[in-house]
Amino acid sequence: MRFHIKFGAGLLAMSLLAGCSSEAVPVVSDEVRAEVRIAVETTPAIRGGLALDGEFVGTIMPAEVVNIALPVVGIVDQILVSEGSAVKKGQLLFKIEDDALQAQLNSAEVGLQSAHQSKEQALFNANNAITSSELSHNMLLVNMEQSLYNAENNVNNARTSLAQLLLAREQALDQADKTIESAQLQYLSAQAGYDLQFGASSDISDLTAYKNLDDIKESIIRATDSIKDIEDDRSDAKTAQKDIQSSINSQNQLISALSYQYEAVMIAQNVAGMLGFAAFSDAVTALYSNQLDLNGQYMVQQAMQNITQQGLDPRNITGTTAATMQSNLTAAQTTLANLQAQEASYDDIYKQLDAQIDSIQDTIDDLESTYRFQEEVLGIQQNQLKEEQVKSQDLAIQQAENALKQAEDAKLKTLESYDLQIKQAEDAVQTAMDTVEFTRNSLEAQVAQSEVGISTSIDTVGITSGMQDIQIKNAALSIDSVQLQIDQYTVESPITGIIENITLVEGSMGSSQTVAATISDYSSMEVVFYVGTDVKKELKYGQIVEFEMEGETYTASINEMSNTVDPQSKLFKITATCQAPEGTIFENGISVRLTTGTFSEEETIIVPYDSVVFANGMSYVYKVVDGKAIRQPVEIGLFTETQISIISGIEEDDEIVTTWSEGLRDGSIVDIINPVQPDEENEENEENEENE
C-alpha cells in the first residue's frame, strides 16, 4: 500500500515538474548568475542494495474498446440499439438514409439487364451475319461452278467449230485435187484426140483412138463418182451447219438470260448505292435486321423480286457480281459471233461445192462430147474435114487448159478462205480459254473474299462477345460500387460487447468526424501498470500477476510489454489480460493493487527518491562540482518510497542536491547548508570543550 501511495505522489511530482519546465523562465546573464548563490542540501551517492516487494498500482479496463464513427455523412434513419445494450459482432447498430443510392442501384440493375439483352441481340446479329456470309459463299461456289461450266462449254464449242473447219478444209482440198485431176485428164484427153486424129500411122491412130475412148469413159466414171463425193460432203456440211445453228440458238438464249440477270444486278447495285451500301447483299442484310426506312425497304424488296425472277440469290449480289456477269456476257457474245461467222461460212462452202459440181459436170459434158467426137473421127475419112477437125481439137485443148487453170485457182482460193476461217476459229478457241481463266480467277478471288468475310464475321462474334462482356462487367461493377456505398449507410458492430454511449439522434445529421458510439468488450479485461527497466527485465510473457478488488484476489497473464518508455514517467507499460468469473463484471477504469513478486538490486548506486527530477520525458539529478550545480541525466532502476536506484549517469560519492529551488539551473553557484545531525553536534561540542 505504501508503494501505491508513493507511486501516485511520484507521478504527481513528475507532472508538476513537467508543467514547470514548460513555463517561461526569465533570462539571467552569466554575470548576475555568478553573483546569485543558491542554498541547497546535498547527500553523497552511496553504493548498496535495494529491494522491492513488486507491488504496483494497476488500472482495470476492457481488452478491446472501439470508438465507432459513421462511414459517411447523412441523416440518421434508425438507431437500433441503446446505451448499455449488449451487442454481438456484426449486429446492425444504425441506418443512414440511402434513398438516392437505392435509386442508383435500381438504375444499375436495369443497366446490367440491358447489357445482357444487348449482348444477346449483338450475338444474334453477328451469328446471322455468319449464316448470311456462309449462304452467300455457297451460292458463289454454285455460281462459280455454273460459270466455269458455261465458259468451258464455250471452249468446247469453239474447238468443235475449229475441228469442223479443219475437216471441211481437208474435204474441200481433196475435192479441189479431184477437180484438178479431172481437168488434167480432160487436157490429156484433148491432147490424145489431137494425136489420134493426126497421127502418122493410121493403124496406130485407130488403136490410140480406141484407147483414148476407153480413157475418156473411165474419166467420165471417175468424175461422176467425184460429184457423188461432193454431194456427200455437201450433206455433211448441212448437218454441221444445223448443229452450229442449234448452238447459236442456245447461245442467244444464254445471252438473253445473262442480259436480264446483268440488268437486274445493275438495278440492285444502283439501289444499294442510293441507300449508301457498297453491295446489294449489305442492303439485304440491313433489310432483314430492320435498319431501313419504309422507302428503303420498298426499293430493296422490288430489287430482290427482280433478282429472284432471274434465278439469283439477292444475298449473293456483291460489289464484283456485276463485273463477273458482264465478263460472262461478253464471252458469250464473242462465242455467238464466232458461231455466226462459222454458220455464214457454210454459204461459201456450198457455193464452192456447187461450183466444183458444176465444174466437174462441165468436165463430164466435155468428156462425153469428146467421146462422141472421137467416135465420129474414127468413121470419118474425108480429108476435107481435117482442117476443121484440127481447129476443133485445138479448141478442145485450149478449153482443157483453161479448165485446169481454173481448178488450180479454185484450190488456192479454197485454201485462203479456209485458212482465214481456221485462224478466226483458233482465235475464238483462245478467247474462250482466256475467258475460262479470267472467270476462274475472278470467281476464286470472290470466293477468297467471301471466305475472308466469313472469317471476319466469326472474329466479329468473338469481338462482339468480348465488348459486350466488358459492358456487362462494367454494369456489374456499377452495381457492386453502388452496393458498397449502400453498405456504408448501415453501421454494424465490429466486436461483441456493451454499448457504452451513443451520441446520435434519429432524424438528425450524422458526421463521420465524431464518435457515434463506443463499444467495450468486457469478456476479456486488461490490467495496465508501469515498471522500471530492472523490473521489466525480470518479467516474462505469460507470467501470472495478482490483483485485489473489493476484497477478492484475481489473476492475470502478462501478454504485452512495451519496448518504449513512457515519455513522462520513463517507465515501461505492462499489460496483463484476465477473464472475469461468470457473473462478475469489472468496473472500467478502477485502480487496483497488483503484485508481481519480490525484486532486488545489489551493488547499485542509491540516492534519495526526491533528488531525481522528471521533466520533458527525461530523468536527471543535480550534482555539485566545484561549487556549481551540474544537471546530470540518469537512467533509473528500482525505486521505493524514499530511495531510487541509478543504473547509469553518476558514480558513488558524487554529491547530489536533495532540495529543489526555483532558481536552480544547470551551472548555478550553490552553498551547501546541510543540517547538522545529532551525533555530529555532540562530537562538535566535545571538541569545543577540549579546546577550551
Domain containing 680 — which CATH number? 2.40.420.20
Tell which of 562, 593, 624 closes a domain: 593
- For residue 567, give the C-alpha cell: 515519455
Q: Mark whether 46 and 76 lie in a shared domain.
A: no
3 state SS of 37: strand
Q: Is 168 left (phi over 0), alpha (psi -120 to 50) or beta?
A: alpha
| Statement to judge: residues 587 and 650 lie in one domain | no
CB-based contact 98:489 (threshold 8 Å):
yes
CB contact at 8 A, 94 and 120: no
- Looking at per-residue pLDDT, the higher value among 431 and 585 belongs to 431
- For residue range 145-161, what is the model confidence (pLDDT) as tens digits? 888 888 889 899 888 98
> Residue 373: which of 395, 397, 394, 389 has the closest Cα?
389
- Does 481 reside within a domain? no
Q: Is residue 244 domain-shared with residue 348, that is, in the same domain? A: yes
- Look at residue 267 in the predicted model and tell me its pLDDT: 94
C-alpha angle 138-140-142 in degrees, rounded to nearest 5: 70
Q: Looking at the predicted structure, is the pLDDT value of residue 24 above 70?
A: no
* 538-542: average pLDDT: 85
Q: Give the pLDDT of residue 5.
A: 27
pLDDT band at residue 10 under the 50/70/90 scheme: very low
Residue 624 falls within a domain, yes or no? yes
Pick the range with the lowest mean pLDDT from 22-36, 246-260, 435-449, 589-603. Answer: 22-36
- Single out the residue of 234, 127, 231 nearest to residue 460, CA to CA: 127
In this predicted structure, the answer to whether residue 381 has a pLDDT above a threshold of 80 is: no
Residues 404-439 as b/e (b if ≥16 CB within 10 A, e otherwise) read bebbeebbeebeebbeebbebbeebbebbbebbebb
Paired sense of beta strands 92-96 and 618-625, if any: unpaired
Same domain, 287 and 381: yes
Check whether residue 589 and residue 666 sit in a common domain: no
Residue 360: count of CB within 10 angstroms of its CB: 25
Number of C-beta neighbours around residue 275 at 10 A: 19
Range of the domain at 245: 159-449
Q: Is residue 305 part of a domain?
A: yes
**CA-CA distance, 401 to 189, in Å (whole number)?**
11
Number of domains in the chain: 3
Q: Do both 637 and 574 map to the same domain? A: no
Minimal CA–CA distance to 268: which of 228, 233, 308? 308
Above 70 in pLDDT, residue 11?
no
**Is residue 377 domain-shared with residue 336, that is, in the same domain?**
yes
- Stretch 221-230: mean pLDDT, rounded? 89
661: which strand partners?
A: none
Q: What is the mean pLDDT of residues 447-459?
A: 86
User: Distance between CA 288 and CA 276 in Å, rounded?
Assistant: 16
The pLDDT, as a whole number, for residue 291 is 92
Full-prediction pTM beyond 0.75? no
Give me the mean pLDDT over the 515-535 stretch. Answer: 86
Distance CA 413, CA 420 (A): 11
| Percentage, residues of the chain above pLDDT 90 | 27
β-strand 591-595 against 599-608: which pairing, if any? unpaired
Helix 280-288 / helix 99-197 crossing angle, nearest 10 deg? 140
Interhelix angle for 202-274 vs 321-379, to 10°? 170
